[in-house]
Structure 1
Amino acid sequence: MLSILPPRSTSAERARSHNRRLVLGHVHATGEIGRAELSRACGLTIQAVSNIIAELEQEGLIRETGRRSTGRGLPATLYGINPGGACALGVEVRPDALLAALLDLNGGAIFTTRRALNDAHPTAVTQELRALREELKSAHPDVVSRLLGAGVVMPGPFGATGLSGTASDLPGWQETDARQVFAEALGVPIDLDNDANAAAMAERVKGVAQGLNDYAYLYFGTGVGLGLVSGGRRVAGAFGNAGEIGHLRVQTPDGSRALEELASRLSLQHRLAGRGHGTINFDRLSALDAAGDAILEEWIATAASALGQAVHVIENLFDPETVILGGALPERIVDRLISRVPLPDGSVSNRPDRVRARLLRGDCGRLTATLGAAALILDRAFSPQLGALD
């Protein structure tokens, strides 16, 4: 397994690891860049940059992409990311399914799969994870040998090692060390996070948040989650629970309710089931939308009103460049929600000089949290850690 990520044991080694990530991150961000530009951007000497480039090139993480003439002297050699030089695995655990995606260094999908779960308890999930590992080793042996790690996402909230005692979407995990379970089953380092944070990172790697450093992502999963990115880094909180916005109380004509009771996919499924519809999956929701189903129309109106109150809180607390909506709902339904959300005038985001809409639909589709789980690993590979030099 390739090693970009593990912590170093001495100050010099930590500084070296930090500088490698710094250089790799700039190469990734620019597409292609020369040594002199890297030296200026990273604040490193030309010799230090040359040494790091030689290492990264030998390891297959970057490659020469061409030459650029500056008008005097020899043309500068340009370097870019080698997409196949390494990969990251993303795993999403839902109450009814296990989803996985393998991404190359540029965020391109090498492999995706969805495995139905009749039982989401740790033992059953562990069996599926081991089967997934063997499938990957068989189908992509050369790529998997260069695996950086695995990002795993679950619906929160979290405790110190996994789901907290108040989490109810995945029964059986509350007293389990989830990190250890996933690390042992997959045999790689694990980055554990909630689905909303992962979805936010997916949009940064391959979606509408490319180039944005401060934004929020409202994720429609079993509940409603909020992924926050500030200064280009995701905001996790002490135990990974920042953004548990589904518990936010919003006002309705009948009193206050939790946001996720009104605007989650599960709330929509319950409303449809209570009015005679059977099992509701993604494709069935699309069909109901196309047919102009009256119950779906009612839910959109209710959810949009509740989301307007949530957006008001998000904008005034975090001052994001935009709020992105997406997740396990068909894109047309998300678009219709966005068009119906009443955007408050009394918000710091209500400015005449805006360069993008206050609300955007995410581009990564129904696999956004799965792709985001792998993006967590890529983000760590390309981003120097602030505490790395302590």
Structure 2
Amino acid sequence: MTISKPPIGSNAERSRSSNRQAVLGCIQSAGEMGRAALARSFGLSTQAVSNIIAELEADGLLIERGVRALGRGQPAMQYSVNPKGGYALGIEVRPDAVFMAILDLSGKEVSSQRSVLKSLEPRKVVAQVQKLRAEMLQKSGIEPDRVLGAGVVMPGPFGQTGLSGNSSDLPGWQSIDVARLFSEALGLAVELSNDANAAAMAERIGGAAHGLSNYAYIYFGAGLGLGLVNQGQLVAGAYGNAGEIGQIPIFTPDGPMPLEARLSRISVQRRLANKGALDVAALGALMASEDADLLAWLDDACAALSQAVMIIENLFDPETIILGGAMPGSILDFMVSNVDLPVLSVGNREDKTLPRLQRGAAGRMTATLGAASLVLNRAFTPQAAVL
């Protein structure tokens, strides 16, 4: 994870919390650092940094890594983030299931679980999440007070909009304060995001977008979402609903229709309804057997994807477009290899060094892991700078 190092300065008005976040983030980004190097980075006295380090050590967030000789003078004690000093909870709510993951402070997955949802009624979903959280913490041997917060992701849109009521959203959730509901139920600070945005950030932390600052992520949930990252920051929109690409109309031989009517889990399930419920494993098996109905759906899906690529490239000019989410890797690879990339696009250029379209690396749990990553990002990044 790459964390920027904003100067924290010595202003007395700057919050203790921001100072701790900045120092912790700087050490996490560098791998290990000593007091003097941190003091130089932030323009603080060595004593001020020592006080912050002492607090972080006492809280179990930092550990000593031994001394290292750095030029003249006495060897300096180096500090690194303690992976077991804290944990982040990631929760993804889908129309048919809830996924949960726990990451340690290094971003390593400690535990993950999936539970089928029998009801989408908010209170019942939250009760199921509480039960799953308790089981995972007990199995992992993690003390509840070591969990720094929870990231919650779900399909958009958030709030009552003109898109509410579509088959890909969660009925009954648009009129409630989702972050508050989960925060009160779990007793944790909650970061709320749509699934596509969380998945896009997961790819930047440990996937195909590592090291990239401008890219787009097409996310297969139940419907189809789009995560946009510009200059390393998510493009969220005024109400957190940027990227609802699934409802953009495309042209088909049957007339105009929403993109996700041809390119989504919903659309393949409808096309192959005679084969019963199709989870990711079942779709993968059909792909391996070269099922004729699935291949016919893929022909239409690739045609729709070509139009989506043209829209995204011409509107946002990304370095690359990444495909991922709840779809077998074999199907994503087929789409990448067989889509006709549009010629009339700013993405069609001779000096392009990255593929215009590629498969993501974070896997089907990418949004869940992204949810937990939102908590880690907050832990390592000051939320406000007081000058």
Normalization by structure 1: what TM-score?
0.88
SS in 2 for 1:252: coil
How far apart, in 2, do the equivalents of 1:317 and 1:294 lie?
35
Do the aligned partners of residues 18 and 174 (structure 1) sit closer, same or farther apart at CA in structure 2, a change above 3 Å counting?
same
Do the aligned partners of residues 77 and 172 (structure 1) sit closer, same or farther apart at CA in structure 2, a change above 3 Å counting?
same
Are the equivalent residues in 1 in contact too, given 2:260–2:267 (CA < 8 A)?
yes
Do the aligned partners of residues 142 and 277 (structure 1) sit closer, same or farther apart at CA in structure 2, a change above 3 Å counting?
closer
Do the aligned partners of residues 355 and 27 (structure 1) sit closer, same or farther apart at CA in structure 2, a change above 3 Å counting?
farther
The CA deviation at 1:41 is 4.2
In structure 1, stretches of 5+ residues that fail to align are 1-10
User: 1:317 aligns to what?
Assistant: 315
Do the aligned partners of residues 173 and 53 (structure 1) sit closer, same or farther apart at CA in structure 2, a change above 3 Å counting?
same
AA aligned opposite 1:312:
M
Do the aligned partners of residues 308 and 78 (structure 1) sit closer, same or farther apart at CA in structure 2, a change above 3 Å counting?
farther
The CA deviation at 1:141 is 5.3
Aligned ranges for residues 141-156 of structure 1 at < 5 Å? 142-156=142-156
User: 2:51 aligns to what?
Assistant: 51
Are the equivalent residues in 1 in contact too, given 2:13–2:386 (CA < 8 A)?
no
Aligned ranges for residues 276-355 of structure 1 at < 5 Å? 276-355=274-353
Aligned ranges for residues 215-254 of structure 1 at < 5 Å? 215-254=215-254
In structure 2, stretches of 5+ residues that fail to align are 1-10
Are the equivalent residues in 1 in contact too, given 2:153–2:367 (CA < 8 A)?
yes
1:383 equivalent among 351, 370, 381? 381
Normalization by structure 2: what TM-score?
0.89
User: 1:4 aligns to what?
Assistant: none
How far apart, in 2, do the equivalents of 1:45 and 1:245 lie?
50
User: 2:5 aligns to what?
Assistant: none
How far apart, in 1, do the equivalents of 2:40 and 2:358 lie?
35
Do the aligned partners of residues 337 and 165 (structure 1) sit closer, same or farther apart at CA in structure 2, a change above 3 Å counting?
closer
Do the aligned partners of residues 235 and 383 (structure 1) sit closer, same or farther apart at CA in structure 2, a change above 3 Å counting?
farther
User: 2:113 aligns to what?
Assistant: 113
Do the aligned partners of residues 167 and 66 (structure 1) sit closer, same or farther apart at CA in structure 2, a change above 3 Å counting?
farther
Residues 83-92 or 111-120, more deviating? 111-120
User: 2:75 aligns to what?
Assistant: 75
Are the equivalent residues in 1 in contact too, given 2:159–2:175 (CA < 8 A)?
no
Do the aligned partners of residues 294 and 137 (structure 1) sit closer, same or farther apart at CA in structure 2, a change above 3 Å counting?
closer
The CA deviation at 1:173 is 1.9
Kindly provide the CA deviation profile for residues 109-168 of structure 1, in whole angstroms up to 9, marking residues without a partner as x: 1111111112111132122022123324533454432111111111110028x9984455
Do the aligned partners of residues 19 and 266 (structure 1) sit closer, same or farther apart at CA in structure 2, a change above 3 Å counting?
same
How far apart, in 1, do the equivalents of 2:43 and 2:352 lie?
33
How far apart, in 2, do the equivalents of 1:367 and 1:123 lie?
24
User: 1:187 aligns to what?
Assistant: 187
The CA deviation at 1:185 is 2.1
Are the equivalent residues in 2 in contact too, given 1:158–1:240 (CA < 8 A)?
yes
The CA deviation at 1:215 is 1.9
Aligned ranges for residues 166-185 of structure 1 at < 5 Å? 166=165, 168=167, 169-185=169-185
User: 2:360 aligns to what?
Assistant: 362
The CA deviation at 1:93 is 0.9
Do the aligned partners of residues 278 and 197 (structure 1) sit closer, same or farther apart at CA in structure 2, a change above 3 Å counting?
same
SS in 2 for 1:255: coil
The CA deviation at 1:95 is 1.4
Residues 135-144 or 103-112, more deviating? 135-144
Residues 124-133 or 331-340, more deviating? 124-133
Are the equivalent residues in 2 in contact too, given 1:104–1:110 (CA < 8 A)?
yes
How far apart, in 2, do the equivalents of 1:26 and 1:353 lie?
35
AA aligned opposite 1:227:
G
Kindly provide the CA deviation profile for residues 298-328 of structure 1, in whole angstroms up to 9, marking residues without a partner as x: 2222212222222222223323222211000
Give the CA RMSD over aligned residues: 2.5
SS in 2 for 1:216: strand
How far apart, in 2, do the equivalents of 1:155 and 1:213 lie?
24
- For this pair of structures, how many residues does the alignment match? 376
SS in 2 for 1:148: strand
Do the aligned partners of residues 44 and 223 (structure 1) sit closer, same or farther apart at CA in structure 2, a change above 3 Å counting?
farther
Aligned ranges for residues 29-108 of structure 1 at < 5 Å? 29-42=29-42, 44-108=44-108
AA aligned opposite 1:130:
Q
How far apart, in 1, do the equivalents of 2:319 and 2:45 lie?
35
The CA deviation at 1:285 is 0.5
How many percent of aligned residue pairs carry the same amino acid? 55
How far apart, in 2, do the equivalents of 1:306 and 1:325 lie?
14
How far apart, in 2, do the equivalents of 1:42 and 1:246 lie?
44
How far apart, in 2, do the equivalents of 1:318 and 1:109 lie?
32
Are the equivalent residues in 2 in contact too, given 1:327–1:367 (CA < 8 A)?
yes
Kindly provide the CA deviation profile for residues 220-265 of structure 1, in whole angstroms up to 9, marking residues without a partner as x: 0111101122222222122110111111122223332211111101
How far apart, in 2, do the equivalents of 1:370 and 1:31 lie?
25
User: 1:135 aligns to what?
Assistant: 135
Are the equivalent residues in 2 in contact too, given 1:87–1:144 (CA < 8 A)?
no
SS in 1 for 2:364: helix
1:198 aligns with 2:198: yes
AA aligned opposite 1:366:
R
